[in-house]
Amino acid sequence: VFVLVTTVRSVAGDREAGVFEYLLSLPISLSAWYWGKMLGRFLMVFMPVFLAMIGAIVWGVVKGADLPWTMLLYYSGLLMVLAWCFLGIGMLISTIARSSDVAQGAAFVVWLTLLLFLDLILLGIMIREQLPPESAVAIALANPMQVFRTASMMLFDPQLVLLGPSAYVILDSFGQTGYILYALVYPVLLGTVCAGIGYMIFRRTDLP
């Protein structure tokens, strides 16, 4: 939610502040401004987390602990792709909204919707109402938060016992390695597509 709320003010906030009027007088292309804004926001969001993990690694080396390098790299990758995904969604919302207040409201609606479909109880009710289990799992796996949640469990619980029966559908469809790759690739694609759509809208609309 921090990534969404801070990112949705990027375009909408600059539009309200009149930044685009100055942008038109400078030798900066719209694509350079838009993607530079997103990359700068990505570094601002991800670098503190990355530096914290580096600090944890250094502390572990000093204490002589046996560091799980595979797990550290995997979780760093998960955090990176999730941050990119929500940055893309935030840029899309910020481009569509005409004011910061509308953008923030839309960001909270998106966040609450993703939380709603993160609830396993809701998925259980959907299955009880004759929705095929495969469809319920597909809905869950379209949610980047659920993808992150399941992938973060996988190293500690390779059989996904905590997920219950839905684990069978996931493991039968992907396998452990396949799902790990899916969890690293899907959020990046989703964030990039959302950011790309946002850029096309941004380029075709009036800047002021």
**What's the pLDDT tens digit per position in 103-144?**
888 888 888 888 776 655 556 666 666 667 667 677 778 888
Task: State pTM to two decimals.
Answer: 0.80
Provide the percentage of residues in the chain whose pLDDT is more than 70: 75
| Residue predicted with more confidence, 113 or 92 | 92
- Structural domains in the chain (count): 1
Decide if 110 contacts 93 (C-beta within 8 A): yes
Cα dist from 36 to 32, 89, 119, 176, whole Å: 6, 16, 35, 35
Q: State the chain's mean pLDDT as an integer.
A: 77
What pLDDT does 143 receive? 83
| Residue predicted with more confidence, 168 or 29 | 29
Evaluate if residue 189 carries a pLDDT over 90: yes
How would residue 31 be classed by pLDDT, with cut points 50, 70 and 90?
confident
Domain range for 53 is 2-204
- In the numeric block, which tokens belong to residue 83? 């941050």
What pLDDT does 193 receive? 94
Evaluate if residue 39 carries a pLDDT over 80: yes
